[in-house]
Structure 1
Amino acid sequence: MMRYATVALAAFLTIGLSNASAETDRLVSTDWVMENLNNPDVRIVEVSVDPGVYERGHLRNAVNFRWHSDLVDPVKRDIVSQEDFEQLMSRSGIANDTTVVLYGDHNNWFAAWGAWVFDIYGHADVRLMDGGRAKWEREGRPMEVRQPDLRATEYTVEQTNPQLRARLADVLAVVEDGEDGALVDIRSPEEYSGRVIAPAGIQELAIRAGHVPGAKNVPWDHAVNKEDGTFKSADELREMYAAVGIDGSKPVIVYCRIGERSSHTWFALKHILGYDVRNYDGSWTEYGNAVGVPIDNPAGTIWTGK
């Protein structure tokens, strides 16, 4: 009797939020979001890179999280504290059982980073809108500038998942101590080789160029379809990463420059392929500035890309 009741409850919950992506319920389509814009059990959150994007127009009932202030510690380089995360959720009308859907510009760079933070603080149901803001706009879907009416909650973090985060010591354990693990550098080939330290137009925040020894280079954008920015299928992703030896047989650490582009790859490996993966948010701005750590620099540059 209990088994049938459990099955019925699961079916009810599934119907209640429409049908999520067949590939993974952590990734939802723009159609799914359109159907749930007014669903009181769903809170849509924009996390964009560029300032002012949200204010020019956003999805109905979406709240805005500023990655550089809402989701980070204001004093030290760190993610938002547990206390501040709870306060952010509470004033944003997010309860522990709310389905949170994140989206943003630049193919969900910081939306994926937001999803990583949500996972660290153990939120039960957080998803990404596949294709992000650009796909929504390209499809001509409605946008508005009105701020949503929010009813405050009393959000409490019930568990944390610090194992989703890699530190410098964890990277060095793989590089120098032979700990079992794989490293994936998701930056551009130019950054990886050491020809440049940062993408064009971005401030150089590291003193040295190159990559972590042993890291495989799979640029983040290889995981998306060029026509609409959606993630490639699980089979395509699995084949692409397996080609460089990333097949889920050992723990993976991903990194980029500051941890946002690597969050996109972290999401693909973790929530589409189901691999054991951590995001190293210190990334090259920490590793490339650290004293006494080895680097690999195929371009032959040493200091500031020169």
Structure 2
Amino acid sequence: MSIGYAFPDKLVEVEWLAENLNALSPDIRIVESNEDVLLYDTGHIPGAVHIDWRKDLQDQLIRDYISPEKFAQLCSRNGITADTTCIFYGDKSNWWACYALWAFELFGHTKAKILNGGRDKWIKLGLPLTKEKPSYEKTFYPVPPQRRDSEIRVFYEDVLSFLKTKGPLIDVRSPGEYSGELLHMPEYPQEGVLRGGHIPGAKSVPWKTAVKEDSTFKSFADLREIYEKEAGLDPEKETIVYCRIGERSSHSWFVLKYLLGHKKVKNYDGSWTEWGNKVAAPIER
């Protein structure tokens, strides 16, 4: 269960949602976001809307997120208001659900939670799925004045400056990617880079070390052992996490910020597809 975490209210247990599914407040919206964008159509939690991480959250021309205006439109057509609590869930131990949550928080929508165990646990418990797509009335969602880039996100130049401080960098990719043996994961050839390795000084803490076999998060004590004792992270100091395109690191960002209570964790979403292709970027192997 979620007891013991720094912010236990950022998690919703599958069992609770199943018991209360038919009596949810109108101010709650269940949001499914998967790596496999076609998965939602094969069956989803009743009442859940689908947010496509690639089509809905990312600009289709520039490598960046959508504008504040388009974010407001996205929320409006999914029946989400500024006061709606969004419960995100998805495949692969909520890796992409955490990415969607991070993107929502980038626009200031912090009323966002993760369904602990996600799609994997929901299906394993034999809980109901439907192919019926819900229909919600359009809402008014105010255009966010700006994105919170400086609060929870860093860019290439920020990381380069951070290296001079010898602050902690966490590489959440697989050991093969970290060592430079893999230029790209076999299942993601589109995310290839020209150089393999890792950002100088970065420690390897693969994102999946934070979850159990049933896709739920490990206990507070276990997470503290992994990130604070073994990786040496200080909850009071700034930490930067990165992966390949920023999605796996969003998962680790959520763990550090909300489960362990680290105050200054930021996500470098340019990650290795930017760093490994950047002319003159320093690389370590």
**Superposition TM-score tier, normalisation by shorter sequence:** over 0.9
One of 263, 278, 284 as aligned partner of 1:290: 278
Equivalent-residue separation in structure 1 for 2:17 and 2:269 (angstroms): 29
Give the Å deviation of 1:245. Answer: 1.3
Structure 2 equivalent of residue 248 of structure 1: 235
Structure 1 equivalent of residue 246 of structure 2: 259
Equivalent-residue separation in structure 2 for 1:214 and 1:278 (angstroms): 16
TM-score of the superposition, structure 2-length normalised?
Answer: 0.93
Structure 2 equivalent of residue 111 of structure 1: 97
Give the Å deviation of 1:149. Answer: 2.0
Structure 2 equivalent of residue 147 of structure 1: 133
1:1-306 equivalences under 5 Å are 21-22=2-3, 23=5, 24-38=8-22, 39=24, 40-158=26-144, 160-162=147-149, 163-175=151-163, 178-179=164-165, 181-203=167-189, 204-226=191-213, 228-242=214-228, 243-275=230-262, 276-297=264-285
Q: Percent identity?
A: 48
Equivalent-residue separation in structure 2 for 1:219 and 1:63 (angstroms): 30
Equivalent-residue separation in structure 2 for 1:28 and 1:61 (angstroms): 16
Matched position secondary structure for 1:37 = helix
- Judge conservation of contact 1:96–1:124 (CA < 8 Å) in 2: no
Matched position secondary structure for 1:25 = helix
Give the Å deviation of 1:170. Answer: 1.1
Give the Å deviation of 1:158. Answer: 4.7
Listed one character per residue, the Cα deviations across residues 166-212 of structure 1 (whole Å, up to 9, x for unaligned) are: 1001110122xx23621000001111001112222221521100000
- Unaligned runs of at least 5 residues, structure 2: none
Equivalent-residue separation in structure 1 for 2:30 and 2:222 (angstroms): 28
Number of residue pairs aligned between Structure 1 and Structure 2: 275
- Unaligned runs of at least 5 residues, structure 1: 1-19, 298-306
Equivalent-residue separation in structure 1 for 2:15 and 2:114 (angstroms): 13
29-38 or 182-191: which moved more? 29-38
In terms of Rg, which structure is larger?
1
Give the Å deviation of 1:28. Answer: 1.1
Equivalent-residue separation in structure 2 for 1:87 and 1:35 (angstroms): 31
Q: Which has the higher contact order (CA 8 A, sep 6+)?
A: 2
Over aligned residue pairs, what C-alpha RMSD do you find? Answer: 1.4
- Judge conservation of contact 1:42–1:98 (CA < 8 Å) in 2: yes
Give the Å deviation of 1:124. Answer: 3.6
Structure 2 equivalent of residue 302 of structure 1: none
- Judge conservation of contact 1:123–1:157 (CA < 8 Å) in 2: no
Give the Å deviation of 1:120. Answer: 1.1
- Judge conservation of contact 2:95–2:247 (CA < 8 Å) in 1: yes
Equivalent-residue separation in structure 1 for 2:238 and 2:275 (angstroms): 19
Q: Which amino acid aligns with 2:277?
A: N
Q: Which amino acid aligns with 1:187?
A: R
Listed one character per residue, the Cα deviations across residues 35-55 of structure 1 (whole Å, up to 9, x for unaligned) are: 342412210010001131100
154-163 or 232-241: which moved more? 154-163
Equivalent-residue separation in structure 1 for 2:36 and 2:139 (angstroms): 28
Equivalent-residue separation in structure 2 for 1:110 and 1:223 (angstroms): 15
